[in-house]
Amino acid sequence: MRVETVAPIDRFFRRLVRYGPPDAEERAALQAILTPPRTVAAGETMIRQFDKPQASTLLLDGLVGRVVTLSGGSQQITALQVPGDFVDLHAFLLARMDHSVVALTDTLVTTAPHRALRSLMDRYPRLGRALWYLTLVDASIHRHWLTVVGRRQATGRAAHLLCELYVRLQDVGLARDGAFTLGLTQAEVGDVLSLSAVHVNRVVQELRARGLVAWDRRQVVIRDWDGLCALAEFEPTYLQLEDQTET
Amino acid sequence: MRVETVAPIDRFFRRLVRYGPPDAEERAALQAILTPPRTVAAGETMIRQFDKPQASTLLLDGLVGRVVTLSGGSQQITALQVPGDFVDLHAFLLARMDHSVVALTDTLVTTAPHRALRSLMDRYPRLGRALWYLTLVDASIHRHWLTVVGRRQATGRAAHLLCELYVRLQDVGLARDGAFTLGLTQAEVGDVLSLSAVHVNRVVQELRARGLVAWDRRQVVIRDWDGLCALAEFEPTYLQLEDQTET
DNA sequence: CGGCGCATTGAGGGCGGTCAATTGGTGTGG
DNA sequence: CCACACCAATTGACCGCCCTCAATGCGCCG
């Protein structure tokens, strides 16, 4: 999955830096509370809906989804997390998980115990705000997808997902030259886009026919970035990838 | 709009208390930084997309929406805020507003300057976490609506909106006995549910025909709460209205 | 070779969209 | 007091996107 050689933990710091670079002391303090990395196999549920985890999980490698199972047995993926993302930082403060967290590929994760996080925040308020910031970016993405799912047709939704994933993966060194590994089956893409697996397939074929992407198995190559963005009406501000420093 | 006699600011504290009751000192400190209340007329845009506000707005009375205007000229309301809600607390840390905030009825608001918020947080870390918590509840609602809009049919979506609004308004003393003022036109309901105004009307008539609600102008009376919840598959955990205390 | 997961293809139907016209309530100016 | 404007709600006709239900192809692994 790796493209550049980036130490997994740096993917996280790169994210955190957007809010305001933590100094060496803050960085070390944060790193000190992380548990040793462990692997989770594709398909495993790492956190169950209604659980009350005592630690938050940081994704180091792989792809995970926040999954809600619906009454009819179908499921909705409300968010995808790429390496460097905290998967359930919101569990630090919310009473119960409102969704499950499922490994969509083989993954590598570490965790930050909530007790340690809390004392870290008491000691380094700015670091606390940086973590808060990360959850706000998640919320911004949620809001954006609300408009994508609610208002865009299937083709635009799919194109939008590809644009977003490419940008996010590129940001952590896991995509380059338009190529990346999509850790999702077409059925799972449907669970993200709120489409049936059948219709996802038709859309994929349309994107191929228009010469926008090559999409074979789980390998995606974007052939026409501008065209794909235009079709998706992709405007990446909502991902909050620009640096901003605390004023 | 008022049903019980609740001082507007207490609607906010009632919310905050869910995370862990602030002590008298924290309460006073928070109240001290709030600017004098001002009114905003229905239809006015209080915060514009792409703005970088220097203060966050606390809604004391009325109804406001977070609105994204789309390329086609239509709009999506990604969230509704009821009295007691911070409308744009995320602007405290995010670089730019990813949406506008529009007053859907005449409203009463106050603001908390970001500079003051920041020193408040440095001084009272637990209060800071309580504010973070509020934004996490927002995110939880966003995720939930992603599944509602993505997976439910029009009738279920509308029923769900009524259930949620009733519970949230009741929580701040603005609804009772199944009756509340819906501050939205049917067209605006469509902007929330990602439906056309025409179809919203068809759905409203179906809800009336099934004997679930009376809905005249902007007055809604729920005639059959259980039936409405069943149709909506409403399960209010995601609103995080249960108390939880910091451990 | 057989089983399995995933991708693909086809047929048919329904939910909800657009376009357009009408009703009705409210406010305003003459 | 009435005429008119305006906004919100309502109704009807038509149609297209995407769903469901199947069946088939295809690569991989035991």
B163-193 pLDDT per residue, tens: 999 999 999 999 999 999 999 999 999 999 9
Whether A2 shows a pLDDT value over 50: the answer reads no
pLDDT for the residue B1: 45
Alpha-carbon distance values, B1 to A208, B58, B219 (Å): 54, 17, 11
pLDDT for the residue A246: 61
Weakest mean pLDDT among A36-45, A234-243, B5-14, B73-82: B5-14
Summarised one tens digit per residue, pLDDT across range B223-245 is 999 999 999 999 999 999 887 66
Alpha-carbon distance values, B88 to A143, B32, B57, B110, B157 (Å): 13, 19, 6, 12, 25
In angstroms, rounded to a whole number, what is the distance separating the alpha carbons of residues A236 and B1?
Answer: 39
CATH 2.60.120.10 residue spans of chain B: 8-148
Domain covering A149-239: architecture: Orthogonal Bundle (1.10)
Residues A135, B133: C-beta atoms closer than 8 Å: no
Tokens of A8: 């997994």
In angstroms, rounded to a whole number, what is the distance separating the alpha carbons of residues A173 and B149?
Answer: 33
Whether B3 shows a pLDDT value over 80: the answer reads no
Residues B133, A94: C-beta atoms closer than 8 Å: yes
Whether A189 shows a pLDDT value over 50: the answer reads yes
**Residues of B numbered 33-92 whose beta carbons fall under 8 angstroms of chain A's beta carbons: which are they?**
66, 68, 70-71, 74, 76, 78-79, 90
**B8-148 maps to CATH 3.20.20.100:** no
Residues in chain B: 247
pLDDT for the residue A1: 44
Class of domain A8-138: mainly beta
CATH 2.60.120.10 residue spans of chain A: 8-138
Whether A27 shows a pLDDT value over 80: the answer reads yes
**B154-239 maps to CATH 1.10.10.10:** yes
The helix, strand and coil proportions of chain B, stated in percent and rounded to the nearest 5, come to 45, 20, 35
| Furthest CA-CA distance within chain B | 56
**Residues of A numbered 105-164 whose beta carbons fall under 8 angstroms of chain B's beta carbons: which are they?**
118, 121-122, 125, 128-129, 132-133, 135-140, 142-147, 149-151
CATH 1.10.10.10 residue spans of chain A: 149-239
Q: What is the mean pLDDT of chain B?
A: 93
pLDDT for the residue B6: 58
0.75 exceeded by pTM: yes
